[in-house]
Chains A and B, each alone.
Chain A
Amino acid sequence: MPTAARCRRSMPGEVIVAETPLLQVEGLEVRYGAIEALKGVSLEVRQGEVVTIIGGNGAGKSTLMKTISGLEPAAAGRVLFEGRDITRLPGHLRVPLGIAQSPEGRQVFPDQTIRDNLLLGAYHRNAGAAELEADLKLQFETFPRLQERQRQMAGTISGGEQQMLAIARALMSRPKLLLLDEPSLGLAPLVVRKIFGVIRDLKARGVTILLVEQMANQALAVAERGYVIETGRITLQGRGADLRRDPKVRAAYLGEH
């Protein structure tokens, strides 16, 4: 198995780190019957980065996230994680490798308690009770609302709280890569601000994040790099700040004409 990072000494006293990106997507194609949802998408996410993907409705963002998590099969192309080809690996085996996702629409388990939802996030770990308690405590520090309501059914809390839960649940797997699919979807502006606050905190803690968003402005502000996806193709990519200033991006995604 390839190692995640290789170091080589090129000149005396200087260390050049040639790092394999955490996630590499190469020429990915995904179809739903006759619909080609992804038509050759390539991107990469490096260790410690926050990368965002912006694009309109039906551009293929969720399809990309699902394929990275192994929920949709790739028709062509590859997905590499830590240099390892996982294109054909079943979804449930990708979680132990370190890929967690907070899916579009949150998808919390409504008939189970918040606490049980969080514990399901740690399902694959076979961790002892003490370790799980410690991890729960960590999540509750980030999301105090969840602690107050831990015995409540997840279906009974607000959309914003459900989104917090979906993120915390994903973090319970101790991921190396956190996939967030439209965490701001359908939330009030104040709650959206909170969610982006959480994403900033996670970034400060060094969590590697791939963030799909329609709120392009906020997403590009928090991300180091961004990709613009349109009808299944990456049409633009660059540093978050640069994309934010790009006239095409401004016109199409930041509501300016």
Chain B
Amino acid sequence: MVAILQAVLSGLALGGVYALVALGFNITHSTTKTFNFGQGEFLVAGAFVAVSGLLLLAGKGITDPLNPDDVTLLRYAGSMVISMVVLGLLGVLLYYTAVRPFVGQAGLAWVMSTIGFGIIIQNVALAVWGPSAVVMPSPLGNDVIRVFGAGILPQEIMVLVASIAVMLCIDVVMRKTKIGKAVRAVAQSMDAATLMGINVSAIVVLAFVVSSSLAGLAGLLIAPITTASVYMGLTLALKAFSAAIVGGLNNPRGCMLGGFLLGLLEALVGLWHAELREISIFMLIILVLALKPEGLLGQRQVEKV
């Protein structure tokens, strides 16, 4: 019983990270019908930029070893800002070099170009930080907290709280604010949005900025749990993408739901048979695609006349 509760909490924390990245897929996909296939590498970049940010804030060099007492809550928050800003800028660069030249073109050029952009990032990260995993201490320490007898890491609670808070913010912005309504208008029809006087190109760049910063945030949040490795991106991005497919790539809430579902499934199945975790995820995808191809909360795409 306690073990299950523990798995649920860890699963939700991991799910929060998937959900953030999945939401990033949704944001660019709904506006441009493209997304960053190198999102995993962006997540890696987010984690390493955060590590370097922490070191900078602690007055050290950006590739020095990181000690637990370098990581205070305030510095962690600072490195979060640094990581999200740097990743946001990378998102702009990605858009102009790897997406915009190919948007609206037949074929899948943007798939290759975003994968390529990710590989470049990965190699730069390799050159700067090296191949070995970096342990990023949690600013909240490693003392296990007992919740109804289940042990949970403080970092896991922070991941859960932070990811939910960010997603709530985005949800409210998209539904209630003028800019959010403009983004949804662009997602519906770029032409109709232009007729409203909305600067569609600016909204699209914004979508890539937000999506990339979310990957950066995800990297920073997960690094203290899994350690930061240059190679961690692919698996995480794949799971986030699975989450988006399960929940519905065209529905932001669906993407979030998918993230948490996958995290939970992985943790619970892992409790039972660790080697079945990945299999269970792909079984879930196949099941959902068979029963509801557009994803759990996805809207069926209406053919536009």
CA A208 – CA B180 in complex, angstroms? 32
**CB-nearest residue of chain A to B181:** A116
Q: B59 interface residue, CB < 8 Å from A?
A: no
**CB-nearest residue of chain A to B194:** A91
Q: Bits for A116-136, please: 1 = Cβ < 8 Å to B, else 0.
A: 100111011000000000000
Q: B192 interface residue, CB < 8 Å from A?
A: yes
Whether B178 pairs with A123 at a CB distance below 8 angstroms is yes
- Distance in angstroms from A127 CB to nearest chain B CB is 11
User: Which of A5-13, A97-105, A220-228, A241-249 is near enough to bind chain B?
Assistant: A97-105
Whether A110 pairs with B191 at a CB distance below 8 angstroms is no
Q: Bits for B56-100, please: 1 = Cβ < 8 Å to A, else 0.
A: 000000000000000000000000000000000000000000000
Whether A120 pairs with B185 at a CB distance below 8 angstroms is yes
Whether B191 pairs with A66 at a CB distance below 8 angstroms is yes
Q: Bits for B174-195, please: 1 = Cβ < 8 Å to A, else 0.
A: 0000100110110011011011
CA A41 – CA B191 in complex, angstroms? 22
- Distance in angstroms from B258 CB to nearest chain A CB is 20
Chain A residues numbered 60-105 whose CB sits less than 8 Å from any CB in chain B:
66, 69-71, 90-93, 95-96, 100-101, 103, 105
CA A197 – CA B192 in complex, angstroms? 25
CA A120 – CA B188 in complex, angstroms? 13
- Distance in angstroms from A177 CB to nearest chain B CB is 13
CA A173 – CA B194 in complex, angstroms? 13
CA A124 – CA B192 in complex, angstroms? 14
Assuming the A-B contacts A112-B185, A116-B181, A120-B182, are A92 and B305 also in contact, with contact meaning beta carbons closer than 8 angstroms in the complex? no
- Distance in angstroms from A101 CB to nearest chain B CB is 5
Q: Bits for B262-291, please: 1 = Cβ < 8 Å to A, else 0.
A: 000000000000000000000000000000
Residues of A within 8 A of B195 (CB): 69, 71, 91, 95, 100-101, 103, 107, 170
Q: B197 interface residue, CB < 8 Å from A?
A: yes
Assuming the A-B contacts A112-B181, A119-B181, are A96 and B188 also in contact, with contact meaning beta carbons closer than 8 angstroms in the complex? no
Whether A95 pairs with B188 at a CB distance below 8 angstroms is no
Q: A111 interface residue, CB < 8 Å from B?
A: yes
Assuming the A-B contacts A103-B191, A109-B188, A111-B188, are A95 and B197 also in contact, with contact meaning beta carbons closer than 8 angstroms in the complex? yes
Using a Cβ cutoff of 8 Å, how many contacts connect chains A and B? 64
- Distance in angstroms from B104 CB to nearest chain A CB is 13
Residues of A within 8 A of B181 (CB): 112, 116, 119-120
Cβ 8 A contact of B198, one of A69, A108, A123, A169: A123
CA A144 – CA B278 in complex, angstroms? 56
CA A51 – CA B200 in complex, angstroms? 30
Whether B185 pairs with A95 at a CB distance below 8 angstroms is no
Whether A92 pairs with B194 at a CB distance below 8 angstroms is yes
Whether B191 pairs with A123 at a CB distance below 8 angstroms is no
**CB-nearest residue of chain A to B192:** A107
**CB-nearest residue of chain A to B304:** A105
Cβ 8 A contact of B196, one of A70, A93, A110, A120: A120
CA A109 – CA B181 in complex, angstroms? 10
Whether A123 pairs with B184 at a CB distance below 8 angstroms is no
Q: B123 interface residue, CB < 8 Å from A?
A: no
Q: B199 interface residue, CB < 8 Å from A?
A: yes
Cβ 8 A contact of B188, one of A103, A110, A173: A110
Residues of B within 8 A of A69 (CB): 194-195
Residues of B within 8 A of A169 (CB): 196
CA A237 – CA B54 in complex, angstroms? 72
Cβ 8 A contact of A92, one of B184, B188, B197: B197
Residues of A within 8 A of B185 (CB): 109, 112, 120
Residues of A within 8 A of B192 (CB): 103, 107-109
Chain A residues numbered 207-251 whose CB sits less than 8 Å from any CB in chain B:
none
- Distance in angstroms from A119 CB to nearest chain B CB is 7
CA A224 – CA B278 in complex, angstroms? 70
CA A109 – CA B192 in complex, angstroms? 8
Assuming the A-B contacts A109-B184, A119-B181, are A92 and B198 also in contact, with contact meaning beta carbons closer than 8 angstroms in the complex? yes
30 contacts across the A-B interface (CB closer than 8 A) = A69-B194, A71-B191, A71-B195, A92-B194, A92-B197, A92-B200, A95-B195, A95-B196, A95-B197, A96-B197, A100-B195, A101-B195, A107-B189, A107-B191, A107-B192, A107-B195, A108-B192, A109-B185, A109-B189, A109-B192, A111-B188, A112-B181, A112-B184, A116-B181, A120-B185, A120-B198, A121-B196, A123-B198, A124-B196, A169-B196
Contacts beyond the supplied A92-B199, A103-B195, A107-B191: 19 A-B pairs with Cβ under 8 Å: A66-B191, A69-B195, A71-B194, A90-B199, A92-B198, A105-B305, A107-B189, A109-B184, A109-B188, A112-B185, A119-B181, A123-B182, A123-B196, A123-B198, A124-B196, A124-B198, A169-B196, A170-B195, A173-B196
Residues of A within 8 A of B (CB): 66, 69-71, 90-93, 95-96, 100-101, 103, 105, 107-112, 116, 119-121, 123-124, 169-170, 173
